[in-house]
Structure 1
């Protein structure tokens, strides 16, 4: 049985939706960013500060290679996972890919709650988010389903994903 993979920009609800979806489906939940932090014994902001973004992106590629081999998991990825075509290919090869989106204002509000986003720890945060959204929007288009989470709760998003999975026959069989 294929994985359910959540992609999307930071602050679109991948982790909160992923946890709820995994619980509802009775599947394990994997957050690639959290797994990278646990295995590296440092946070992503620390990684960016000490080693730089390129180091983190390499760790992310390695993690995607590993988790894309899993079956029956719900996987939440980092927002930049789509920057590398090999990540996209791996995730798609054994997964139903769901892109979560949100408006610029919602993303700014959600990502402003914590100071844990290394790409956004800048005074021109709104401009950076707007530019990154524009640059990445097409990269999320390969998804099997796209859901705007701006005005939806994680419960509503989860319900929509489950409906899609049922209608597509993706929930048949055993995990």
Structure 2
């Protein structure tokens, strides 16, 4: 028998962070624990585009991908609350970031370079990692993106520990964040 959700979540929980941070793995566990649907923005983008993200990058380039990604995420944020796993670059787009900040609770799953590299080094489906030394690329992405990811509402460290432990930490951080928010009064 499933346990009831630990608390109610009034808005979508959007997970942000670099590839390999655990957005999908933690997101699925978090959604199950909160009694919410899990949605992977990358899967939704592939469905809308009718091709893989890698194929989209090759055919149209990153700028066009980000435009499509923004439209898909905007549509997803209009749905009832769910746990949303976003692509690593989604939060870097100012418009997408503003949408997420307005319509979701943003959670940055922060991981160090060794953890990220260990998680992504055997996967060939990451378009950005095909452009050179994957470890160096990840390091450069960290330098560029971590200051922006730090704008998220909540920061949870994603370490080499079991995903269930990181999920527990995310739930506690989310509970603390939501309890600190002013309650909305009906009009």
TM-score (norm 2): 0.86
| 1:94 corresponds to which of 95, 103, 118 | 103
TM-score (norm 1): 0.91
* 2:100 is the alignment partner of 1:122: no
Q: CA deviation at 1:88?
A: 0.9
The runs of 4+ residues in structure 1 deviating greater than 6 Å are none
Aligned length: 171
- Tell me what 1:39 maps to: 48
Does the 8 Å CA contact 1:65/1:87 hold for their aligned counterparts? Answer: yes
Superposed CA RMSD in Å reads 1.5
Q: Return 5+ residue gaps in structure 2 as ranges.
A: 1-9
Task: Considering Cα pairs closer than 8 Å and 6+ residues apart, tell me whether 1 or 2 has the greater RCO.
Answer: 1
Q: Return 5+ residue gaps in structure 1 as ranges.
A: none
Q: CA deviation at 1:89?
A: 1.0
**Structure 1 residues 16, 135: CA separation in 2 closer, same or farther (over 3 Å shift)?**
same
- Tell me what 1:148 maps to: 157
Q: CA deviation at 1:101?
A: 1.3
